Structure 1
Amino acid sequence: MVLISLGPLAGDVHLLNRACKGAGTHEDLLTEILIGRSNEEMFLLKEQYRRTHNKDLVQVVRGELSMKTERMFVMALTGTRDESTFVNHQQVQQDVETLYRAGPGKIGTDEIAICGILLQRSDAHLAAIAQAFPQRHRVSLTHMIESEFSGHMKDALLHVSRGAEQDGQGVYRDTQLLEAAMAGMGTKDERLCYRISRYHWNRPRFGAIKNQYQQLYRRSLRQRVEGETSGKYEKALVGIIEQN
């Protein structure tokens, strides 16, 4: 379990290098590591990447993406999010209308206007938008994104909207991501491994994810992992899950 030995910051740098290495970009991994980070986390991540690989992370990511998706990720990498816990409800309503006018209320979608709101607002503000949007327009923020976007940009923005909906902290979304790594034919071992490894660093939040998993799927995360893995791999993952 390389990620555990590296720690949270160096582990994310390792995963970023994995996401951008070789033919094709590991888009899911890039999204999960870069979208929704705090300004301090983004600064430390860029600095650690530079020290480890002697490369500028922004330039590396730009080389992996193109057009508006590239602009979206560069926007996220700037690390200039509003991090206030105070919610200005007048601004929330303005953002709801801007999102609608840039999406369903417009012929053609203004992707950058939507990204500017969803990538730059605070978590508390985004949670308020996710609550207010369906009240005003009778469709969820997630449904709007699913209708207006496609490809990697769609997946990245859904990561934001799904994190803002339900609990506003991404716990419900990340619980579903764990299940997605085990659902269907064959377990997506790499995704299961890096998700459990990354989530466990924040113990209180990981506890909330495990509780949410039990509520959603009527069995514990440990039981699910034991049913999908075996041997040393199973033992390692269960050990991480059961850490206090």
Structure 2
Amino acid sequence: MAWWKAWVEQEGVTVKSSSHFNPDPDAETLYKAMKGIGTNEQAIIDVFTRRSNAQRQQIAKSFKAQFGKDLTETLKSELSGKFERLIVALMYPPYRYEAKELHDAMKGLGTKEGVIIEILASRTKKQLQEIMKAYEEDYGSSLEEDIQADTSGYLERVLVCLLQGSRDDVSGFVDPGLALQDAQDLHAAGEKIRGTDEMRFITILCTRSATHLLRVFEEYEKIANKSIEDSIKSETHGSLEEAMLTVVKCTRNLHSYFAERLYYAMKGAGTRDGTLIRNIVSRSEIDLNLIKCHFKKMYDKTLSSMIMEDTSGDYKNALLNLVGSDP
């Protein structure tokens, strides 16, 4: 089955490595695109959206060797706005980019809790370990300690619990007896009592595997006559509700969760560009094709068509290149 997993993973990718790759001419193309008066944005788009992240890192090394300049800093000085934000995001190695997004979500006044919830609830145990390592290397502090300093109460407990990576995301083993017990415990902790035993919800949702939780959700619905989502909505509110619902959504279908994030980043007045950029950049070499298929099924329109409607200029062109052709 290893071949099947590899095929599915490759099928999900929208940005692939360029064959016959040589970083030196790419670095030269970028240098010429930014030299002198004016910038050739299309040349930058062509290079960045048609090379994998690993290849972009090699281009950056070649750029420094040939021209004695840091590529990311040069891009920042030549570009601006959302287009700059997108191109610079493409320059970060994946785990360093996610560490940066988490750091930015916590620095300054106010905390962007939605960003932290999205990243921690949707990544695997191994991915979380790599993000924590990158965070400590780049910012000189512990991600867990910074989250504890920046959040409080049950939300803090959910996030720290997710960060522990206690969920078994490999074996797929389900103990039917434990699943039934967990469903009964969740019912007893919520619908059955006045008030809610939040810690019981947090422990079960944040430490059990996805396959186990799916069985728990089935058993729960039989006991409570309502879905786990409806119970969470009636028992909690605010960021805690968002965190618990995100865990459930990622458990049920990760691709649908990201499709929903992308849809609501563009729906309504104004575009949430941070969410749009982060999810397209971070999923383009993992499963963006699969997310696109779910997007079309869920909203009866393609991701590309919505990007066409909601963005413009070089920013739009770069996003469309990263997203690739419609499913």
Counterpart residue type for residue 233 of structure 1: Y
Deviation at residue 64 of structure 1 after TM alignment: 0.6
The reply on whether 1:225 has 2:311 as its aligned counterpart is: no
Task: Choose from 316, 319, 322 the match for 1:234.
Answer: 316
Counterpart residue type for residue 43 of structure 1: Q
Residue in structure 2 matched with residue 112 of structure 1 by the alignment: 199
Deviation at residue 171 of structure 1 after TM alignment: 1.6
Residue in structure 2 matched with residue 214 of structure 1 by the alignment: 296
Separation (CA, whole Å) in 2 of partners of 1:137 and 1:180: 30
Separation (CA, whole Å) in 1 of partners of 2:304 and 2:156: 38
Q: TM-score when scaled to structure 1?
A: 0.92
3-state SS of paired residue (2:266): coil
The reply on whether 1:101 has 2:188 as its aligned counterpart is: yes
In the alignment, structure 1 segments of 5+ residues that lack a partner are: none
Residue in structure 2 matched with residue 181 of structure 1 by the alignment: 265
Moved over 3 A (4+): none
Cα root mean square deviation, aligned: 1.6
Separation (CA, whole Å) in 1 of partners of 2:141 and 2:126: 19
Query: Residues 70-113 of structure 1, C-alpha deviation per residue, up to 9 Å, x if partnerless?
Result: 12211122222223311112211111111111111112111111
Separation (CA, whole Å) in 2 of partners of 1:27 and 1:35: 12
Task: Choose from 118, 125, 131 the match for 1:32.
Answer: 118
Separation (CA, whole Å) in 2 of partners of 1:16 and 1:158: 20
Counterpart residue type for residue 153 of structure 1: L
Separation (CA, whole Å) in 2 of partners of 1:97 and 1:194: 38
CA contact (8 A) 1:36 1:119 kept: no
Counterpart residue type for residue 213 of structure 1: F
CA contact (8 A) 1:46 1:56 kept: yes
Change (3 A) 1:52 1:163: same
Task: Choose from 175, 179, 202 the match for 1:88.
Answer: 175
User: Aligned residue pairs: how many?
Assistant: 239
Counterpart residue type for residue 112 of structure 1: M
Separation (CA, whole Å) in 2 of partners of 1:219 and 1:39: 33
Separation (CA, whole Å) in 2 of partners of 1:39 and 1:190: 24
Residue in structure 2 matched with residue 140 of structure 1 by the alignment: 227
3-state SS of paired residue (1:181): helix
Deviation at residue 169 of structure 1 after TM alignment: 3.0
Change (3 A) 1:175 1:131: farther
Residue in structure 2 matched with residue 195 of structure 1 by the alignment: 279
Separation (CA, whole Å) in 2 of partners of 1:171 and 1:87: 22
Deviation at residue 27 of structure 1 after TM alignment: 0.8
CA contact (8 A) 1:86 1:124 kept: yes
Counterpart residue type for residue 32 of structure 1: E
Deviation at residue 160 of structure 1 after TM alignment: 1.0
CA contact (8 A) 1:75 1:119 kept: yes
Deviation at residue 221 of structure 1 after TM alignment: 0.8
3-state SS of paired residue (1:80): coil
Counterpart residue type for residue 315 of structure 2: Y
Separation (CA, whole Å) in 1 of partners of 2:285 and 2:189: 37
Separation (CA, whole Å) in 2 of partners of 1:208 and 1:99: 32
Query: Residues 194-237 of structure 1, C-alpha deviation per residue, up to 9 Å, x if partnerless?
Result: 122222231xx322211111122222111111111000110111
Q: TM-score when scaled to structure 2?
A: 0.70
Deviation at residue 36 of structure 1 after TM alignment: 4.2
Separation (CA, whole Å) in 2 of partners of 1:243 and 1:24: 38
Separation (CA, whole Å) in 1 of partners of 2:192 and 2:122: 26
Separation (CA, whole Å) in 2 of partners of 1:88 and 1:20: 38
